[in-house]
Amino acid sequence: MTADLSPMRPTRDPRVTLDDLLEVVLNKGAVLHLDLIVAVADIPLIGVSLRAAIAGMETMLEYGMMRHWDEDTRAWAERSTARRALDLEEDENVVCRMSGGHLLTESLYHGWRPGTVYLTDRRLVVLRDEPREILWETGLDAVTAVRLEPERTVGGEERLRLDVALADGGQERLSAREPGELHALLTEACAGRPTPALPFAFRSPAEEDPPLAEGHLWYHEPRRGGPLWRGGQGRMTADRLVWKSPVDSRPALVLPLADITAVRRVPAYSPAGEDGLIAVHTTAGDEVRLAADDPAAWTERLRAAGAATGPVAAGPVAAAG
Amino acid sequence: MTEHTALYVYALLPDRPDAADGVTGIDGRPLRLVRVPGTSVAALVHDAAPTPLEGGDDQVRRWVEEQSRAVDTVWERTGSVLPMTFNVLVAAEPSPEPSPEDGTAAGTAAGTPVGRSAEQRLTEWVTEQAADIGGQLEGLAGRCELRVDITVDRTAATAGGTGGAAEGAPEGGPDGLSPGMRRLMEKQREHRARATAGQLADTLHAETRQRLLAVAEDYRDRGPTHRVAGETDVLCAALLVRREDIDAVGAVLTDLRARQPAVRVRFLGPWPPYSFIDTAHRARAEEMAP
């Protein structure tokens, strides 16, 4: 490849873009007012627009089989929605999915958070449907034991819960519509995996870097039209702070802790309240703005981590590198 | 049955008398404008039978391409369009039943037992929505949609990296590695390559997203689309940019490629702003989903 530094030009060549174009035309574009579409007598156009709205690339693949779409569209749309609910990794497959929940015990709020339990061939995940957020997840290789435990519900009923013991010593409790089935499938899925006793840990250090801190954070994302506060998940490991929104496919912020020069609290408006705002200064001269419900804790962690890895200053003034 | 009593709608656009001149659409059909008196909006249509298009994959591909080409041409002429999705038809209102409960439903107060024509219905709808449609057309004028698709080649990204230990292990012999263990190590190596590429992808995504957001007026994360074996997705987005900023987006991508030879970039467009149409109507459609 030659080092041509003139700006790349976009292509409209249909040989390159046709699939993307199909997706965009079938998926997007204004749709006439629903009332009008429904009112188009005897033409169940709603089928078409629903399909287009939900579908993605599958749409055009399945367009060829549209003969029976009128009755099939609903069933198909439902399947399609389910498939899109959890973002799967490459080669990852869903083993089972059922309604359930995760018992949150680690923060101030202690209680059941309902959602959908997904068992894949790699992970066990509890996903909240709306707004979509992963409430809890673990890789199957971190699961050391699984057992069913009876629990008396508020209503006095006895229900079976699923207790999951993890390699890091932690234990989590899940509810599930079919706890027995989930237990059986999970046990089976874990049995096929190398045990921690093997001399070669299956987990790679790069991937499983344990978080020093993890929790909800707001990120003031810079944009052309002015910055925008967005909610998401912050995760601080030994060498970096990563922030990711549940609607993005990857993190919008990856900040090496070694680049932090100063961390300070700023008394200004933020979605986390009057004193939730944290400004992080970097070696590049940027200021990254975050907001947290527990700003003191995050500030401390960032300062401590920055001090360990980089030229962080505890005060409001950035220290020289 | 094959009477052309319906309208197949391609797009709404600013009313310019010559905008559809000589433009053909699906199956080479001549297109025309339905102008909406009292507004500055027109609809690009062809006269159609009141049945949706159905066909095999290849035929749908061809139709979509024809539809998009027509919309592109008109977009170049008018500078702004609100494109419709595939298969948007407005049919004539069916003639009222002999004894309708509410005699005024068809809106034919004169007593003629004929429903409104497709053109009347479309015109009425546009008139009702004129303020919203006009606002959107104005807001999107001079803007286009670009699509950016970035992946990293795992082999290139991890070359000389973490794979060494497993590969360097001697064959069979002294270490007594069983085939099963060897397979496991191979899996671990692949796993590490994925993890390393994933971390690189996170970093590249964050910095590229930030640079693109500095240029684009709007941005939609699209999630991965093209899965190529051996590549890890970095970023896949639709951008709304002013036409004069297309090169600025290109420069960001060129720079990324120069710094990271392992990245693969697809850069598509410019297209009419399909992904940036106000989705109010769509949201209502989704509410109706089962």
> What number is the ipTM of this complex?
0.78
Whether the per-residue pLDDT at B24 is higher than 80: the answer is yes
- Taking CB atoms and an 8 Å limit, are A74 and B50 in contact across chains? no
**How far B37 CA sits from the closest chain A CA (Å)?**
19
- Taking CB atoms and an 8 Å limit, are A200 and B188 in contact across chains? yes
DSSP-derived 3-state class of residue A149 = strand
- The reply to whether A185 and A220 lie within a common domain is no
- Taking CB atoms and an 8 Å limit, are A249 and B68 in contact across chains? no
- Taking CB atoms and an 8 Å limit, are B281 and A204 in contact across chains? no
- The reply to whether A145 and A232 lie within a common domain is no
Report pLDDT digits (tens) over B78-96.
Answer: 999 998 877 788 877 766 6
Taking the CA atoms of A315, A213, B200 and A20 in sequence, report the sign of the dihedral they define. negative
For residue B271, the chain A residues in CB contact (below 8 A) are 12, 21, 24
- pLDDT for B175 equals 64
- The reply to whether A56 and A106 lie within a common domain is no
Determine the average pLDDT of the residues in A128-152. Answer: 83
Q: At CA B289, angle to CA B287 and CA B290, rounded to 5?
A: 125
Region of B142 please: left (phi>0), alpha (psi -120 to 50) or beta. Answer: left
CB B144 within 8 A of CB B246: yes
- pLDDT for A211 equals 82
Determine the average pLDDT of the residues in B206-218. Answer: 97
Q: Which domain holds residue A52?
A: 16-81
Gap between the Cα atoms of A33 and B88, Å rounded: 11
Taking the CA atoms of B71, B75, B78 and B82 in sequence, report the sign of the dihedral they define. positive
Q: What is the DSSP string of A68-110?
A: GHHHHHHHHHHHHHHHHHS-PPTT--EEEEEEEEEEE-SSS--
Q: A285 lies in a domain? A: yes
Mean pLDDT of chain A: 73
Gap between the Cα atoms of B141 and A269, Å rounded: 34
Among residues A57, A81, A105, the one where a domain terminates is A81
Q: Classify residue B142 by its DSSP letter.
A: T
For residue A200, the chain B residues in CB contact (below 8 A) are 181, 184-185, 188
For residue A21, the chain B residues in CB contact (below 8 A) are 64-65, 68, 271
- Taking CB atoms and an 8 Å limit, are A33 and B265 in contact across chains? no
- The reply to whether A27 and A63 lie within a common domain is yes
- The reply to whether A98 and A187 lie within a common domain is yes
Q: pLDDT over 90 for what percent of chain B? A: 45
- Taking CB atoms and an 8 Å limit, are A41 and B94 in contact across chains? yes
Report pLDDT digits (tens) over B148-201.
Answer: 999 999 888 877 544 444 444 444 445 677 777 777 777 778 778 888 888 999
CA-nearest residue to A252 within chain B is B206
For chain B, the domains span 6-95+116-140, 143-159+196-276
- The reply to whether A140 and A171 lie within a common domain is yes
Whether the per-residue pLDDT at B112 is higher than 60: the answer is no
CB A137 within 8 A of CB A105: no
- Taking CB atoms and an 8 Å limit, are B250 and A23 in contact across chains? no
Gap between the Cα atoms of A182 and B123, Å rounded: 56
Which ranges constitute the DSSP H helices of B35-163? 57-78, 118-140, 154-158
Nearest to A78 by CA among A97, A103, A102: A97
Whether the per-residue pLDDT at B260 is higher than 50: the answer is yes
Among residues A160, A191, A222, the one where a domain terminates is A191
- Taking CB atoms and an 8 Å limit, are A18 and B61 in contact across chains? yes
Q: A319 lies in a domain? A: no
**How far A244 CA sits from the closest chain B CA (Å)?**
9
For residue B224, the chain A residues in CB contact (below 8 A) are 249
* CATH number where A281 lies: 2.30.29.30
Q: Classify residue B105 by its DSSP letter.
A: T
Q: A11 lies in a domain? A: no
- The reply to whether A165 and A138 lie within a common domain is yes
B148 is written with which tokens? Answer: 């950016």
- The reply to whether A100 and A184 lie within a common domain is yes
**How far B189 CA sits from the closest chain A CA (Å)?**
9
For residue B84, the chain A residues in CB contact (below 8 A) are 29-32
- The reply to whether A160 and A238 lie within a common domain is no
Indicate the number of domains in chain A.
3
CATH number, domain B143-159+196-276? 3.30.70.260
- Taking CB atoms and an 8 Å limit, are B184 and A252 in contact across chains? no
- pLDDT for A315 equals 45
CB A260 within 8 A of CB A253: no
Determine the average pLDDT of the residues in A179-189. Answer: 85
Whether the per-residue pLDDT at B204 is higher than 80: the answer is yes
Q: A34 lies in a domain? A: yes
Distances in Å between the Cα of B83 and the Cα atoms of A14, B60, B91, B246 are 18, 17, 19, 21
